[in-house]
Amino acid sequence: MESHKLMFELSHPERLKILNMLKEKPMRLSHLSKKLDITTAEVSRHLDRLGNARLIERDSESSYNLTTFATITLTEVSNFDFLLKNVDYFLNHDLSQLPDHLHWFNSMAKGGFSSGTLETSSAIKEASVNAKKYVYVMSDEMMRALVPIDCKKNDEGVVFKKIYPKDIQLPPEYENRIDESFEIKTLKEVPCGLKMNDKIAGVALRDLDGKVDYSMGIVGEDESFRSWVRAIFDYYWDLARPWV
């Protein structure tokens, strides 16, 4: 099936409702008709189209189920919904700074948007203050107010990994404690702002002028979201060079 034909089948709100209902559990035609409050003839027509698109199948008990193809398709639809819901943000920020294989929209959608420089700065600080095990950072600037907090947390056993631009000036407090528990690496240019600890993670993308926009970030505690942020950090950590 060509993509535009699949999109046509998904464009009808009733057919999309049917798919989402079947995502929860298998259902018979009569049950779908009652839930949707439309005639069985109308539901039958929708089911025929969805079946022809290989999105549903009927079992031996006459219940309709999603195919594995439909499950994947609905994930992509939810990604599209996320993009549309936040279209203004993506129109004004540059996701292309990240490699294509790190565009995990489904995981990204598990986070929420924080707006305002003050709120973002507070979240960045709290990520250090509340860390129990580790703090990972990628930033194009040095937040001097965090230096004593980071040093104190490191003394308490929190592991730090930080990525900065290669021309940044490190505070002596950082330079004097670089070891396996406080590692610093550099890149020619960092692609985004990022910070995470063992509970929460956040990302700030670059705006269309090429500046990391700390006035709005994506923040979340969901494991899928944190895994996405961790994947970004690990990718650039492997590319970065140790501080010398």
pLDDT tens-digit profile of 38-63?
Answer: 999 999 999 999 999 999 999 988 99
Question: What is residue 121's predicted lDDT score, i.e. its pLDDT?
Answer: 82
Contact 182, 68 (CB under 8 A): no
Q: Considering only CA atoms, which of 174, 136, 182 is closest in space to residue 156?
A: 182
Question: What is residue 227's predicted lDDT score, i.e. its pLDDT?
Answer: 96
Residue 182: pLDDT band with limits 50, 70, 90: very high
Question: What is residue 118's predicted lDDT score, i.e. its pLDDT?
Answer: 77
The CATH T-level fold of domain 3-75 is: Arc Repressor Mutant, subunit A (1.10.10)
pLDDT tens-digit profile of 143-172?
Answer: 999 999 999 999 999 999 999 999 999 999
* Domain boundary assignment for the chain: 3-75, 87-242
Question: What is residue 78's predicted lDDT score, i.e. its pLDDT?
Answer: 85
Question: What is residue 186's predicted lDDT score, i.e. its pLDDT?
Answer: 97
Q: Is 134 a residue whose pLDDT tops 90?
A: yes
Question: What is residue 81's predicted lDDT score, i.e. its pLDDT?
Answer: 87
Q: How far apart are CA 128 and CA 116, in angstroms?
A: 19
The model's pTM is 0.83
Q: Is 120 a residue whose pLDDT tops 90?
A: no
Contact 224, 106 (CB under 8 A): yes
Question: What is residue 68's predicted lDDT score, i.e. its pLDDT?
Answer: 94
Alpha helices in the chain (DSSP H): 3-11, 13-24, 29-36, 40-52, 68-85, 87-91, 105-108, 117-129, 147-155, 172-175, 223-239
CATH superfamily ID and name for 87-242: Endonuclease Chain A (3.30.870.10)
Average pLDDT, the chain: 92
